[in-house]
Amino acid sequence: MAAELNRRGAKVLFAPLIDWELPADTTELDRFLNTADSYDWLVITSVTTVRVLAQRARIRRVSLSSLVGSARVAAVGAATGAALSELGVTVQLTPGKDQSAEGLLAELPAQPARALLPQSDLADDTLRAGLAGRGWTIDAVTAYVTVDYPAAADRRVGAVSDDVSHDPVSGNPCQAAGTITQQDLLGDLRQGRIDVVVLTSPSIAARLHAMMETLPDTVATVAIGRRTERDASALGMRIDATASVPSPAGIADAVRTAVVNHRKRN
């Protein structure tokens, strides 16, 4: 996303607001993963879930593909599918334009099946309830919990691959160039040094709203998808544009639209 925005002339700043930890007790998660290959479908709704599964596979000293076994795999979008492919897992289904829980629900087969759904503690019930309504047997299990940044080093959800360097003291992943602190983010917003904020998840929207209830009028706001737009709007946040597809190009297009809409409004 940053590379595409940079290519179009934007200067991108990264501001980590949330992070992810393994559940305090992984017994239930591990119990389900031990029988993952007995399911008809393994349904993956985020790259973070892929990271969790990769961690649990490494603990077992097996590949993620062997952990998945013969289960067919559905991924919510291109980024999640790419993360799975990077680990040697074949993805049988990815929704087209609507890369969301609703889009994935629409693409999964109508005939009843048995599925494992590892997900966030904050995941909405759209997918589970929708599949259950079709007669599917769904085992939904919490794979990770969302916390304010930074996560506890001993419970942090790691990267998809092992080649990401970490700070030896904090255990946090080394930050990309252009990363700013939460305090710097608030200061830059108040001083008008940020033109556009991209909300990359409902959790990010909630965290930013808790930090700054009302964004300055000088800032345009972009939502990565419809659920983020809905949740942010419910908090009273103004959304100037929503990405039609949560891809780098889709988000960059939404940033351009947000700038135009923002200028018209002001």
Each residue of 226-247: pLDDT tens digit?
999 999 999 999 999 999 988 8
| Residues making up the chain, counted from first to last | 266
Residues 132 and 180 in one domain: no
Residue 85 has pLDDT above 60, yes or no: yes
Residues 138 and 225 in one domain: no
The 3-state secondary structure of the chain reads CHHHHHHCCCCCCECCCEEEECCCCCHHHHHHHCCHHHCCEEEECCHHHHHHHHHHHHHHCCCHHHHHCCCEEEECCHHHHHHHHHCCCCCCECCCCCCCHHHHHHHCCCCCCEEEEEEECCCCCHHHHHHHHCCCEEEEEEEEEEEECCCCCCCECCCCCCCCCECCCCCCECCCCCECCHHHHHHHHHCCCCCEEEECCHHHHHHHHHHCCCCCCCCEEEECCHHHHHHHHHCCCCCCEECCCCCHHHHHHHHHHHHHHHHHHC
Query: Is residue 136 in a domain?
Result: yes
Angle at 32 between CA 26 and CA 37, to 5 degrees: 140
Residues 7 and 41 in one domain: no
Return the sign of the alpha-carbon dihedral for residues 54, 57, 63, 67.
Answer: negative
Q: Is 50 in contact with 44 (CB distance < 8 Å)? A: yes
Question: Which whole number is the average pLDDT over 105-124?
Answer: 96
Q: What is the pLDDT of residue 176?
A: 61
Query: Is residue 168 in a domain?
Result: no
Q: Which of 162, 161, 108, 159 is nearest to 138 (CA)?
A: 108
Q: Is 167 in contact with 174 (CB distance < 8 Å)? A: yes
Which distant-in-sequence residues (6+ apart) come within 8 Å of 130 by Cβ? 105
Residue 120 has pLDDT above 70, yes or no: yes
Q: What is the pLDDT of residue 233?
A: 97
Tokens matching residue 88: 């040697």
Which distant-in-sequence residues (6+ apart) come within 8 Å of 100 by Cβ? 76, 77, 225, 226, 227, 246
pLDDT in tens, 196-212: 999 999 999 999 999 99
Residues 56 and 74 in one domain: yes
Among 145, 167, 202, where does a domain finish?
145
Residues 138 and 250 in one domain: no
Q: Which of 206, 87, 59 is nearest to 147 (CA)?
A: 206
Residue 170 has pLDDT above 70, yes or no: no
Residues 131 and 244 in one domain: no
Query: Is residue 154 in a domain?
Result: no
Residue 165 has pLDDT above 50, yes or no: no
Residues 6 and 112 in one domain: no
Lowest mean pLDDT among 80-84, 90-94, 168-172, 176-180: 168-172
Residue 163 has pLDDT above 80, yes or no: no
Query: Is residue 259 in a domain?
Result: yes
Residues 24 and 10 in one domain: no
Residues 7 and 66 in one domain: no
pLDDT in tens, 22-50: 999 999 999 999 999 999 999 999 999 99
Q: What is the pLDDT of residue 168?
A: 41
Q: What is the CATH number of the domain that holds 107?
A: 3.40.50.10090
Query: Is residue 87 in a domain?
Result: yes
Q: What is the residue-averaged pLDDT of the chain?
A: 92
Domain region containing 25: 20-145
Residues 9 and 123 in one domain: no
| Residue 6 to residue 68: CA distance in whole angstroms | 37
Question: Which whole number is the average pLDDT over 256-260?
Answer: 95
Residues 49 and 138 in one domain: yes
Q: What is the pLDDT of residue 172?
A: 52
pLDDT in tens, 43-67: 999 999 999 999 999 999 999 999 9
Residue 148 has pLDDT above 80, yes or no: yes
Q: Is 242 in contact with 226 (CB distance < 8 Å)? A: yes
Q: pLDDT band at residue 169, thresholds of 50, 70 and 90?
A: very low
Question: Total structural domains in the chain?
Answer: 2
Among 125, 145, 165, where does a domain finish?
145
| Residue 184 to residue 182: CA distance in whole angstroms | 5
Residues 27 and 108 in one domain: yes
Question: Which whole number is the average pLDDT over 246-256?
Answer: 95
Among 129, 145, 161, where does a domain finish?
145
Residue 126 has pLDDT above 60, yes or no: yes
Q: What is the pLDDT of residue 249?
A: 95
Residue 110 has pLDDT above 50, yes or no: yes
Residue 160 has pLDDT above 80, yes or no: no
Residue 173 has pLDDT above 60, yes or no: no
